[in-house]
Amino acid sequence: MSNNTITYLLGNHAIAQAISQCSTDVVAGYPGTPSSEIIEFLAAMKPDCHIEWSVNEKAAMEVAIGASWAGGRSVVTMKHVGLNVASDPFMTLAYSGTRGGMIIISADDPGCHSSQNEQDNRRYAAFAQIPCLDPAVPQEAYDMVFYAFEFSEKFNMPVMLRPTTRVCHGKSNIKLRTSAPVHHEIGFQKIPSRWVMLPAHARLRHQDLINKQQEMMQELGLSKWNDLDIIEGAKIGIIASGVASVYTKECLKKFNTKASFLKISTYPPPVELIKELLGSVDKVLVIEEMEPIVEDVVRSISNSISNKEIEIHGKDIIPGYGELNVSIIASCMASSGFTDNQEEADIVDKTSIELPNRPPVMCPGCPHRATYYAMKKAFGKDAVFPGDIGCYTLGIQMETMDTCLCMGASITIATGIYHAGETKPICCSIGDSTFLHTGIPGLLNAVYNNADITVAILDNRTTAMTGHQPNPGTGQTVMGDATYMVSLEDIATSCGVQFVKVIDPFNVESTIEIFNKAKEHKGTSVVISKQECIITARRRGIKPRPFEVDIDKCNGCRMCIKFGCPAIQFADAQVEGEKGYAHISNLCAGCGVCASICPFDAIKEVC
Amino acid sequence: MIEFDLVIVGVGGQGAILSSDIVGLAAVNSGVPVQASETHGMAQRGGSVENHVRIGLTYGSLIPKRQADCILGLEPVEALRAVDYLSSGGVIVVNTNPILPITALSGACEYPDVDMMINELRNYCKELVAVDANSIAKQAGHPLTANVVMIGALSKFIPLSVEKLEESIRRLVPPKTVDVNIEAFRLGRLQ
Ligand code: SF4
Ligand code: SF4
């Protein structure tokens, strides 16, 4: 596919394509929206390189670092919050630097489409003092991969590529480059002054890192990712970064605004270009999603220009939260006098019909729903239910998700709640992949410090929310190869847990019973609720028979409706005085849990 | 160059991405640039999903409010929810079959009357095509072809040739289902 052809690709697919064309040797990552498809597409291409889902982002980062230090090209992928987990190696890597080219892909999620926060990882790049590339469109993300490897190898520095959701999940025509495979000489070289961060080495490496900054900034400033367009006689200057730059261009065209324009996609920001723009205008607006990173630089440059007073705007006008778009930028520009046009988007009339909300829900037949039903029955609705990150976070609809902070925090938060003196029973839930990601140290900690809590490990045999990736518990690698299938029971037992039980949540009665026993148990107890995700089960060809309601037996009590399966619906009585009844639609996945719940035995397998 | 802004809305799991892919790929194969944006992630579990396909545009993938040439609604409530994207001369193509959200299933709120919603949608557009895509899909040979029926109904309004659209369908649907999908597309076009 690599011969100047035009193709239609998802941003993440384009990134994967570039990674494979760059003869990358090792790619590691942990799934997380919006980054996951990069590794999935790459694995499907089966390039001649090692690809892995690591158990967490820290592991992935270190695997990629090792590969680079051995002389190979490497890439590590993660979502923005994943970099928090990987920040320990990340910060010191900047001191050590790299050997083979290394790219750190942090997929940011302004607008929190699928995330617990919307942190701006351009800040992380600045914190670590490593260069960062911020693509505006998928084509740029594709092209930047090639550039990033070359840059990394020139400066022996890792490069951060920071696509946002709109780039990762944007699709566009991509012009592919021609490329020839390159072989990298692999061989670890012992360079203790770089790879062994003893204080004496670290001090010197830190100086070296600072000394490199000027040269790196100059090189980035000259790159094609930044673009300055000075308009003769324009007194207004607009600076926009990354994705915001394309929205801004559309606005400027729409309004026919006479303004000089600087697009920025490299960090540290290009000082010379900013100076040039400031020299030609009186008033500047900086438009960037999230943090005022470019704005801060623009302000400090402006302060150093002594012979001129320039009016600078940025986060005083442009929101510092949420995603930007053309409509927001247009109305911000209009309200602050950067254009005379009134933005018509402000006067849109919404319909007066009240529309029902449509929150995401667990699938019909999802094993988590069954687990939560039993958990709530055993622990009571007043118990405390700390939670974690995955499809099962949707358990908030069943009132069994009282906290969700970050990956792996369920067990430790539960421990803290217990040690604070909470006397209500505490049962936390964590998925299989999340448990393996960062849950294990929390479980060990709970046992070690005598926390009297129950930990439910919702083992649906996959990493479901991010698109059903395999994990160490599934016995399969990302390439589909067989590997050792780690046992969650054994891990829990090794952590010192004295009560470990495995249950099938579709067996409602025994699940309730085991949860009751776990609750009674003094000390840390673990219940592993093991039942495959209905989606992966279906993909494997498992099709249980659906269920139906016998309307003669149905009493209209709505017990099954309260269970919350989207396949069950209530049909109100047509005639006043008569009872309504439940109805099961063709969405039924045949888990049979509603049949166990129905007190009138009215739900039966379709024969 | 032709420019056409299309908003596709529906419910997570309905296959809205396939619909936008058919259109986007047909445009690229016609030599026209495309910027599209898709909903992945959490909302795909039965939440509201919204895809934008900008044909002939080289800016960002998000369509500004009041600028879409067409809304393709795979579900009536979702079509109405997205109506503020439509320009005054725009077209709406909507599947009339409701999918009840959990909020309506549980009785927490009411699902609005479909005819009332279709009438309301008419107030926002120049032309509306209401399609019972589920029935037509069955007629074509498989209920899962409803989205392709909708693409058929949409095809009269987008500046792309029938050949290119059919070519994308052939490329994007599972090989065994090409024939039913092409039939679905053709039946949709008759709407
Ligand atoms: S994808 Fe699997 S785990 Fe996620 S909600 Fe659906 S059935 Fe449950
Ligand atoms: S058996 Fe009952 S609970 Fe399970 S998927 Fe079918 S309707 Fe839903």
Q: Where are the domains of chain A?
A: 6-221, 227-350, 367-539, 547-605
Q: Which of B1, B32, B45 should we substitute to test contact with A (largest number of A Cβ atoms within 10 Å)?
A: B45
Distance CA(A516)–CA(A503), nearest Å, equals: 13
What value does the mean pLDDT take over residues B125-150?
96
Specify the ligand 1 atom closest to the Cα of A589. Answer: 7
Q: Residue for token digits 């849109």?
A: A348
CATH architecture of the domain A547-605 equals 2-Layer Sandwich (3.30)
How much is the pLDDT for B67? Answer: 94
- Using pLDDT thresholds of 50, 70 and 90, give the confidence band for residue A340: confident
Does A547-605 match A6-221 at the fold level? Answer: no
> Quick check: A343 pLDDT over 60?
no
Mark yes or no for CB contact A113/B111 under 8 Å: no
Structural contact between residues A164 and A136, judged by C-beta atoms closer than 8 angstroms = no
pLDDT digits (tens, 9 = 90+) for A357-391: 999 999 999 999 999 999 999 999 999 999 999 99
C-alpha span between A545 and A592 (Å, rounded): 9
Closest C-alpha residue for ligand 2 atom 3:
A594
**Angstrom distance (rounded) from CA A365 to CA A372:** 13
Asked if A356 lies within 8 A of B81 by C-beta distance, the reply is: no
Q: Do A358 and B11 touch (CB under 8 A)?
A: yes
Across A520-577, where does the E strand assignment appear?
Answer: 525-530, 547-549, 568-571
Q: How many CB atoms neighbour CB B92 within 10 A?
A: 26
Given this model, what pLDDT does residue A491 score?
Answer: 98
pLDDT at A4 over 70: no
Which residue owns the Cα nearest ligand 1 atom 6?
A363
% of chain A exceeding 90 in pLDDT: 91
Q: What is the CA radius of gyration of chain A?
A: 28
> Cβ contact (<8 Å) for A170 and B41?
no
When pLDDT is cut at 50, 70 and 90, the band that residue A342 belongs to is low
Give the mean model confidence (pLDDT) for residues A244-268: 95
**pLDDT for position B177:** 96
CATH superfamily of A6-221: Thiamin diphosphate (ThDP)-binding fold, Pyr/PP domains (3.40.50.970)
* pLDDT band with cut points at 50, 70 and 90 for residue A254: confident
Nearest to A135 by CA among A272, A12, A286: A12
Query: What is the residue-averaged pLDDT of chain A?
Result: 95
Nearest-CA distance A185 → chain B (Å): 39
Q: Are A265 and A122 in contact (CB under 8 A)?
A: no
Architecture of the structural domain at A227-350: 3-Layer(aba) Sandwich (3.40)
The full set of domains in chain B, from first to last, is 6-189 (3.40.920.10)
CA triplet A409, A413, A417: central angle to 5 degrees?
Answer: 175
Cα–Cα separations (whole angstroms), residue A53 to A71, A284, A466, A470, A472: 21, 45, 12, 8, 9
pLDDT at A348: 54
Cis peptide before A34 (omega within 30 of 0): yes
Q: What is the pLDDT of residues A279-297, one digit of tens each?
A: 999 999 999 999 999 999 9
Q: Which of A4-8, A133-137, A590-594 has the lowest mean pLDDT?
A: A4-8
Confidence label for A305 from pLDDT (cuts 50, 70 and 90): confident
| Total length of chain A | 607
Residue A110 has φ and ψ, to the nearest 5°, of -60, 135
Average pLDDT estimate for A12-41: 98
Atom nearest to A603 CA in ligand 2: 2
Q: What is the ipTM of this complex?
A: 0.96
Of B25, B83, B109, the CB nearest to A351: B83
Q: According to the 3-state scheme, what is the secondary structure of chain B?
A: CCCEEEEEEEECCCCHHHHHHHHHHHHHHCCCCEEEECCCHHHHCCCEEEEEEEECCCCCCCCCCCCEEEEEECCHHHHHHCHHHEEEEEEEEEECCCCCCHHHHCCCCCCCCHHHHHHHHHCCCCEEEEECHHHHHHHHCCHHHHHHHHHHHHCCCCCCCHHHHHHHHHHHCCHHHHHHHHHHHHHHHCC
pLDDT in tens, A540-560: 999 899 999 999 999 999 999
The pLDDT-based confidence of A345 (bands split at 50, 70, 90) is: very low
A128 vs A181, higher pLDDT: A128
Q: Quick one: tokens of A591?
A: 């888990």
- Residue with the larger pLDDT of the pair B151 and A336: B151
CA B30 to CA B22: how far, in whole Å? 12
Compute how many other C-beta atoms are within 10 angstroms of the C-beta atom of residue A291. 16
pLDDT tier at A336 (50, 70, 90 boundaries)?
Answer: confident
Per-residue pLDDT, A572: 82
pLDDT above 80: residue A344 = no
Q: What percent of chain A has pLDDT over 70?
A: 98
Confidence at residue B91, expressed as pLDDT on a 0 to 100 scale: 98
Q: Is the pLDDT reported for residue B54 higher than 50?
A: yes
Give residue A580's pLDDT. Answer: 87
Question: pLDDT digits over B57-95, tens only?
Answer: 889 999 999 999 999 999 999 999 999 999 999 999 999
The verdict on the CB of residue A370 being under 6 Å from ligand 2 is no
* Min distance A115 CA to chain B CA atoms (Å): 9
Q: Residue A297: left (phi > 0), alpha (psi -120 to 50), or beta?
A: alpha
Q: Is the Cβ pair B36, A170 closer than 8 Å?
A: yes
> Tokens 């999603």, residue?
A289
Cβ–ligand 2 distance for A364 under 6 Å, the answer: yes
Q: State how far the Cα of A109 lies from the Cα of A227, in Å rounded to an integer.
A: 25
Q: According to the model, what pLDDT value does residue A1 have?
A: 47
The residue contributing the CA closest to ligand 1 atom 4 is A391
Nearest to A427 by CA among A380, A492, A489, A490: A380
d(CA A234, CA A378): 70
CATH code linked to domain A367-539: 3.40.50.970
